[in-house]
Structure 1
Amino acid sequence: MTKVRKAPAASSRHTRRWPASLAVLVALGLQLAVPPQVMGTPRWIMPAIGVALLVPLVWTNPFHLKRDEVWLRWIEVVLLAGLVVVNAVYLASLIVLLASGDTADGKVLVKAALLIWVTNVVAFALWYWEIDRGGPFARMPEHEHEEERADLLFPQMTVELPGWERWIPGFTDYLFVAFTAATAFSPTDTMPLTARVKTLMGIQSGISLLTIAVVAARAVNVL
């Protein structure tokens, strides 16, 4: 008689909110460091809006995910959309600045490109974390959520390995997906399955490609 091995309990690491909240704060803080040459608006506006949107998220779920509210997810989506839009505007402003030849300071270009690239990675990591299979709450097996289709196919989901039977991705896994998409300009070990994630990954790769190919390349020439 074959002995049925009981699947191990899922790790609680995927219920932690503080890594995502910390990533939001880092992305908002980076907005304060954007060089004034590429910023047409006061630099405190975007961080102020972001902090205002972040407060209810941290207040209800400061460290671990315990309460699921639809309006909280909408707040985070609005915040992420704002981060991406503002970051794209900074990139466009920087490209226009380069085209006009108004700057010859290589250090400013490198700093601006780095801040835009890091913000791009953080914002899309949060976006993948928030929408994959309906969000972090929907992925938690202990909650009675209607199961949704996976938006991302992680390697752990394709093979049967001892100790990984009930593996669930955490924020670090989505951060790695965003990092590899921003460096390789395409999926690597984790494949996008749905149209919405393919669209997001295409936008992220496009922003990253423009940042590195246009801004960083010009900065190297100036230096």
Structure 2
Amino acid sequence: MSRNRADARTRHPRHQRRGEARLPGVMATLIAITLYLALPEQLLIAPRYVLPALEIVLLIPLIAINPKRLTRQTRAFRVLSLTLVALIAFSNLAALGILVYELVHAGVKDGPSLLLAAFQVWLTNVIVFGLAYWELDRGGPVSRTQIPRAALPLADFRFSQDENDDAVQEVADGSSGSSDWVPVLTDYLYVSVTNSTAFSPTDTMPLSSRAKLMMSVQAVAALVTSLLVIARAVSTLR
């Protein structure tokens, strides 16, 4: 039996965990900010650097509180992190709305630029909703690793690992019940990607009303981008 299998079956008290790495969340946020900065001028709801600067201002104290690992959570940390995600989501959905308006009423003819802008909006949509799911599910990334499982808030999502205890041994060894597994940012980004491409849940099911509402908004935004925006942009290339 490999060491990984043996380690997977060993439970570790959740409060002794080192916490999720800070870097992936920071990188995802910076990519979303950069994508917004690269949008065409007509899709911006404020001067180009205003919203990105505000988002950076919100991000800096979050890094200062948890520079390497997400182990500390205060009320201020929670408010700042959720505000940051909400601001990115709002600016991206506003950009999508303006893009649709430009297509319908302004008769935009620049197909290649439109295709690129649509992709930027779609990719930002994937990132920001992945961050939102990550921030909200089971109390957020700090709670998921730092407090006992019995004290966690109710789950917003049910991952396949949460129900694999009775599967074949090599699968069950990595389940939530056997290995104390918890989802990380990559898992939520995968949920976001599948929701933006299949327009529905795949292997991860939303449980709470807010999760269902958020996934519905994301799927509709992705559908609008894919069908209306990209289809119109392609037609202008003819």
Give yes or no for the alignment of 1:143 onto 2:147.
Answer: yes
Report what 1:173 is aligned to.
187
- Check the 8 A contact 1:129/1:136 in 2, yes or no: yes
Hey, what's the Cα distance between the residues in 2 that align with 1:121 and 1:15?
20
Give the number of equivalent residue pairs: 218
- What displacement does 1:68 show? 1.2
Map of 1:54 onto structure 2? 59
Q: Provide the alpha-carbon RMSD of the alignment.
A: 2.0
Aligned equivalent of 1:124:
129
Contact between 2:158 and 2:204, CA under 8 Å: does it hold in 1? yes
| Aligned equivalents of 2:19, 2:125: Cα separation in 1 | 22
**TM-score between the two structures when normalised by the length of structure 2:** 0.86
Deviations 1:5-56 (A, max 9, x none): 9634389686112101110111011111001132243111111010000000
Say if 2:43 and 2:98, in contact at 8 Å, map to a contact too: yes
Match of 2:115 in 1: 110
Following superposition, the deviation at residue 143 of structure 1 comes to 3.1
2:5 matched residue in structure 1: none
Q: 2:158 aligns with which of 153, 158, 166?
A: 153
Question: 31, 38, 41: which is aligned to 2:43?
Answer: 38
Q: TM-score, normalised by structure 1?
A: 0.91
Match of 1:183 among 187, 197, 204: 197
1:30-85 Cα offsets, whole Å, 9 max, x none, are 11100113224311111101000000011111221121112111111111111111
Q: 2:206 corresponds to which residue?
A: 192
SS in 1 for 2:155: coil
> Following superposition of structure 1 onto structure 2, how do residues 13-32 of structure 1 map, counting pairs within 5 Å?
15-32=20-37
Q: Of Structure 1 and Structure 2, which has the larger fraction of its residues in helix?
A: 2
- Distance in 2, Cα, partners of 1:30 & 1:208: 16
Partner of 1:162: 173
For residues 60 and 40 of structure 1, the distance between their equivalents in structure 2, rounded to whole angstroms, comes to 30
Amino acid at match of 1:198: K
Distance 1:49 1:110 in 2: 27
The alpha-carbon deviation at position 150 of structure 1 amounts to 1.0
Q: Structure 1 stretches of 5 or more lacking a match?
A: none
Residue of 79, 86, 93 corresponding to 2:91:
86
What percent identity do the matched residue pairs reach? 39
> Which AA in structure 1 matches 2:215?
M
Residues 40, 192 of structure 1: alpha-carbon distance in 2 compared, 3 angstrom cutoff: closer
Question: Which one of the candidate residues 207, 213, 216 is aligned to 2:227?
Answer: 213
Counterpart code for 2:205: M
Pairing partner for 1:66 from 66, 71, 76: 71
